Amino acid sequence: MCAVMPLANSARSASGPITLVVIGDSLSAGYGLQEGDAFPPKLERALGGKGHDVRVINAGVSGDTTAGGRARLAWTLGEGTSAVIIELGANDALRGLAPEQAFENLSAMLADLQSKGIPTLLAGMKAPPNMGEDYARAFDAIYTRLVEKYNVVFYPFFLEGVVGNPALNQDDGMHPTPDGVDIIVAKILPDVEKLLSRIK
Protein backbone atom coordinates (compact mmCIF):
# COMPACT_ATOMS: atom_id res chain seq x y z
CA MET A 1 0.00 0.00 0.00
CA CYS A 2 1.46 3.35 -1.00
CA ALA A 3 1.70 6.04 1.63
CA VAL A 4 -0.69 8.97 1.41
CA MET A 5 1.20 12.24 1.22
CA PRO A 6 -0.43 15.17 3.03
CA LEU A 7 -1.32 18.27 1.07
CA ALA A 8 1.35 20.96 1.13
CA ASN A 9 -1.11 23.38 2.69
CA SER A 10 -1.81 20.94 5.50
CA ALA A 11 1.79 20.89 6.64
CA ARG A 12 1.23 23.47 9.35
CA SER A 13 2.07 21.26 12.29
CA ALA A 14 5.06 23.49 13.11
CA SER A 15 2.75 26.46 13.70
CA GLY A 16 -0.32 24.52 14.80
CA PRO A 17 -3.15 22.79 12.97
CA ILE A 18 -5.40 24.23 10.30
CA THR A 19 -8.77 25.28 11.74
CA LEU A 20 -11.80 24.11 9.75
CA VAL A 21 -15.19 25.34 10.98
CA VAL A 22 -18.38 23.41 10.17
CA ILE A 23 -21.38 25.77 10.22
CA GLY A 24 -24.51 23.68 10.08
CA ASP A 25 -27.67 22.36 11.68
CA SER A 26 -28.44 19.17 13.61
CA LEU A 27 -26.92 17.01 10.86
CA SER A 28 -23.48 18.36 11.70
CA ALA A 29 -24.17 19.21 15.35
CA GLY A 30 -24.69 15.49 16.00
CA TYR A 31 -28.31 15.35 17.14
CA GLY A 32 -28.98 12.14 19.07
CA LEU A 33 -25.31 11.09 19.01
CA GLN A 34 -22.44 10.96 21.46
CA GLU A 35 -20.18 13.98 20.98
CA GLY A 36 -17.41 11.95 19.35
CA ASP A 37 -19.81 10.42 16.83
CA ALA A 38 -20.87 13.72 15.25
CA PHE A 39 -19.69 14.70 11.78
CA PRO A 40 -16.97 17.22 12.78
CA PRO A 41 -14.95 14.98 15.14
CA LYS A 42 -15.25 12.02 12.77
CA LEU A 43 -14.11 14.21 9.89
CA GLU A 44 -11.16 15.41 11.97
CA ARG A 45 -10.11 11.81 12.66
CA ALA A 46 -10.48 10.87 9.00
CA LEU A 47 -8.35 13.83 7.91
CA GLY A 48 -5.76 12.93 10.51
CA GLY A 49 -5.66 9.43 9.08
CA LYS A 50 -4.79 10.95 5.71
CA GLY A 51 -1.94 12.96 7.14
CA HIS A 52 -3.67 16.33 7.56
CA ASP A 53 -3.12 18.37 10.72
CA VAL A 54 -6.62 19.84 10.95
CA ARG A 55 -8.76 20.87 13.89
CA VAL A 56 -12.45 20.63 12.94
CA ILE A 57 -14.72 22.91 14.95
CA ASN A 58 -18.35 21.86 15.41
CA ALA A 59 -20.42 25.01 14.89
CA GLY A 60 -23.61 23.10 14.19
CA VAL A 61 -26.82 24.24 15.88
CA SER A 62 -29.84 21.93 15.91
CA GLY A 63 -32.84 23.51 14.23
CA ASP A 64 -30.77 26.18 12.51
CA THR A 65 -31.97 27.61 9.20
CA THR A 66 -29.95 29.48 6.59
CA ALA A 67 -31.15 32.69 8.25
CA GLY A 68 -29.79 31.49 11.58
CA GLY A 69 -26.46 30.56 10.04
CA ARG A 70 -26.24 33.94 8.36
CA ALA A 71 -27.03 35.77 11.62
CA ARG A 72 -24.32 34.00 13.60
CA LEU A 73 -21.61 33.80 10.93
CA ALA A 74 -19.57 36.75 12.20
CA TRP A 75 -19.22 35.48 15.77
CA THR A 76 -18.88 31.84 14.72
CA LEU A 77 -15.66 32.47 12.85
CA GLY A 78 -12.65 32.48 15.12
CA GLU A 79 -9.65 34.65 14.34
CA GLY A 80 -7.68 31.67 13.07
CA THR A 81 -10.36 30.13 10.84
CA SER A 82 -8.62 28.69 7.77
CA ALA A 83 -11.61 27.18 5.94
CA VAL A 84 -15.35 26.64 6.36
CA ILE A 85 -17.91 23.98 5.52
CA ILE A 86 -21.49 25.23 5.24
CA GLU A 87 -24.13 22.56 5.81
CA LEU A 88 -27.45 24.39 5.94
CA GLY A 89 -30.85 24.31 4.28
CA ALA A 90 -32.53 21.17 5.59
CA ASN A 91 -34.64 23.09 8.10
CA ASP A 92 -35.62 25.70 5.51
CA ALA A 93 -37.00 22.89 3.33
CA LEU A 94 -38.71 21.09 6.21
CA ARG A 95 -40.50 24.31 7.14
CA GLY A 96 -41.36 25.16 3.56
CA LEU A 97 -39.48 28.45 3.68
CA ALA A 98 -39.03 30.30 0.40
CA PRO A 99 -36.13 28.86 -1.62
CA GLU A 100 -35.14 32.35 -2.73
CA GLN A 101 -34.78 33.35 0.92
CA ALA A 102 -32.41 30.43 1.51
CA PHE A 103 -30.48 31.43 -1.61
CA GLU A 104 -30.06 34.99 -0.38
CA ASN A 105 -28.95 33.87 3.08
CA LEU A 106 -26.38 31.42 1.77
CA SER A 107 -25.25 33.92 -0.85
CA ALA A 108 -24.60 36.52 1.85
CA MET A 109 -22.57 33.98 3.85
CA LEU A 110 -20.49 32.96 0.85
CA ALA A 111 -19.88 36.57 -0.15
CA ASP A 112 -18.70 37.38 3.37
CA LEU A 113 -16.35 34.39 3.49
CA GLN A 114 -15.03 35.20 0.03
CA SER A 115 -14.31 38.79 1.09
CA LYS A 116 -12.28 37.43 4.01
CA GLY A 117 -10.36 35.05 1.74
CA ILE A 118 -11.67 31.98 3.58
CA PRO A 119 -12.05 28.94 1.28
CA THR A 120 -15.47 27.33 1.62
CA LEU A 121 -17.12 24.01 0.89
CA LEU A 122 -20.86 24.21 0.30
CA ALA A 123 -22.75 21.02 1.16
CA GLY A 124 -26.02 20.78 -0.73
CA MET A 125 -29.38 19.58 0.54
CA LYS A 126 -32.51 18.29 -1.16
CA ALA A 127 -36.08 19.15 -0.32
CA PRO A 128 -38.22 16.29 1.08
CA PRO A 129 -40.63 14.82 -1.51
CA ASN A 130 -43.72 15.78 0.47
CA MET A 131 -43.04 19.46 -0.32
CA GLY A 132 -44.12 18.89 -3.93
CA GLU A 133 -42.22 18.88 -7.21
CA ASP A 134 -42.29 22.63 -7.83
CA TYR A 135 -40.88 23.47 -4.42
CA ALA A 136 -38.27 20.70 -4.62
CA ARG A 137 -37.13 21.86 -8.05
CA ALA A 138 -36.74 25.46 -6.89
CA PHE A 139 -35.08 24.53 -3.62
CA ASP A 140 -32.64 21.98 -5.00
CA ALA A 141 -31.50 24.47 -7.65
CA ILE A 142 -30.31 27.09 -5.17
CA TYR A 143 -27.07 25.20 -4.51
CA THR A 144 -26.03 24.91 -8.15
CA ARG A 145 -26.89 28.59 -8.60
CA LEU A 146 -24.62 29.47 -5.67
CA VAL A 147 -21.77 27.39 -7.07
CA GLU A 148 -22.10 29.21 -10.38
CA LYS A 149 -21.93 32.55 -8.56
CA TYR A 150 -19.11 31.78 -6.12
CA ASN A 151 -15.87 29.88 -6.44
CA VAL A 152 -16.57 27.27 -3.77
CA VAL A 153 -15.97 23.56 -3.45
CA PHE A 154 -19.33 21.82 -3.87
CA TYR A 155 -20.59 18.57 -2.38
CA PRO A 156 -24.06 18.19 -3.97
CA PHE A 157 -25.92 16.28 -1.24
CA PHE A 158 -24.74 16.02 2.36
CA LEU A 159 -26.84 12.90 3.06
CA GLU A 160 -25.75 11.03 -0.08
CA GLY A 161 -25.76 7.28 0.57
CA VAL A 162 -27.55 7.67 3.91
CA VAL A 163 -30.98 9.19 3.29
CA GLY A 164 -33.83 6.69 3.18
CA ASN A 165 -31.80 3.82 4.67
CA PRO A 166 -33.31 2.81 8.04
CA ALA A 167 -30.08 1.06 9.06
CA LEU A 168 -28.15 4.32 8.76
CA ASN A 169 -30.68 6.65 10.34
CA GLN A 170 -32.03 7.13 13.84
CA ASP A 171 -35.65 6.31 14.63
CA ASP A 172 -36.80 9.73 13.38
CA GLY A 173 -35.66 8.75 9.88
CA MET A 174 -33.85 12.07 9.40
CA HIS A 175 -30.69 12.05 11.50
CA PRO A 176 -27.83 9.65 10.78
CA THR A 177 -26.56 7.01 13.17
CA PRO A 178 -22.80 6.75 13.85
CA ASP A 179 -22.56 4.34 10.90
CA GLY A 180 -24.43 6.86 8.77
CA VAL A 181 -21.99 9.59 9.76
CA ASP A 182 -19.11 7.30 8.76
CA ILE A 183 -20.56 7.07 5.26
CA ILE A 184 -21.04 10.84 5.02
CA VAL A 185 -17.44 11.40 6.07
CA ALA A 186 -16.06 8.84 3.62
CA LYS A 187 -18.01 10.32 0.71
CA ILE A 188 -17.27 13.98 1.42
CA LEU A 189 -13.60 13.47 2.34
CA PRO A 190 -12.15 13.97 -1.19
CA ASP A 191 -13.95 17.30 -1.48
CA VAL A 192 -12.75 18.36 1.97
CA GLU A 193 -9.20 17.61 0.84
CA LYS A 194 -9.86 19.76 -2.22
CA LEU A 195 -10.99 22.51 0.16
CA LEU A 196 -7.77 22.23 2.17
CA SER A 197 -5.73 22.59 -1.02
CA ARG A 198 -7.20 26.08 -1.44
CA ILE A 199 -5.88 27.38 1.87
CA LYS A 200 -3.11 29.91 1.31
Q: Report yes or no: 106 and 99 within 8 Å, Cβ to Cβ.
A: no
Give residues with Cβ within 8 angstroms of 92, minimum separation 6.
Answer: 65, 66, 67, 99, 101, 102, 139
Catalytic-role residue among 26, 28, 64, 92: 26
Decide if 175 is catalytic: yes
Residues designated as active site: 26, 172, 175
